[in-house]
Amino acid sequence: MDIYSDLLKQHGLKVTIQRVAIMKYLMGTLSHPTADTIFNDLIRCNPSMSLATVYKTLDTLRNEGLILELNTGEDSNRYDGNVRPHSHFRCLRCNSIIDIKLPQSHHEQINKEVSITYNVDVLERKCFFFGYCQDCGGGNSTQSLYNNNFKSH
């Protein structure tokens, strides 16, 4: 058995060719694809797969905590096979999404501060950064929040 089948079984899900293919695809990419992209990339090797199956499978995998669904303000949601705590950066020009890995202590500190300050129970946190990636000229911009707000005077 492969790790994808094992994960599905551990969550009490039926192992299907489509579910395994979608999990393998998402866990093997950093591109944060849309459902349409997943369908178009997998249909070549899985001609019996339908777009409806992709959407149903993504919904099931998300509900089981096996993948993340990202809404970054675009027309379509994106999907991420990395369910460990991390943040995302979306380029406003090319729409690429990059995983932002912060130390676990940062995530825990943010959750703790929000809980204490606002007297709430934090169950989930999603953090998105927006700007321009390196390929689109990012890192050199005078429009950057960092460049404008955090320069020493």
According to CATH, where is 1.10.10.10 located in the chain? 1-83
Given this model, what pLDDT does residue 152 score?
A: 39
Which residue has 């460049």 as its token pair? Answer: 147
- 1-83: CATH, from 3.30.360.10, 3.10.20.740, 3.30.565.10, 1.10.10.10: 1.10.10.10
How deeply is 49 buried, as exposed, middle or buried, from its count of CB atoms within 10 A (0-12, 13-18, 19+)?
Answer: buried
For position 143, what pLDDT does the model report? 56
**Alpha helices of the chain — where are they, by DSSP H?**
3-10, 17-27, 35-42, 51-63, 104-118, 145-149
CA atoms within 13 A on the CB side of 149: 3
Cβ-contact 23, 83 below 8 angstroms: no
- Find, among 75, 104, 92, the residue nearest to 137 by Cα: 92
The per-residue pLDDT for 144 is: 54
Share of the chain above pLDDT 90, in %: 69
- The CATH number of 84-153 is 3.30.1490.190
The pLDDT tens digits for 30-45 are 999 999 999 999 999 9
- Span(s) in the chain for CATH 3.30.1490.190: 84-153
Q: Check: CB of residue 77 under 8 Å from CB of residue 37.
A: no
Percent of the chain with pLDDT over 70: 90
Euclidean distance between CA atoms 119 and 23, whole angstroms: 37
Dist CA 138 CA 142 (whole Å): 10
Cross-strand pairs, 69:
79
Instruction: Report whether pLDDT(29) > 50.
Output: yes
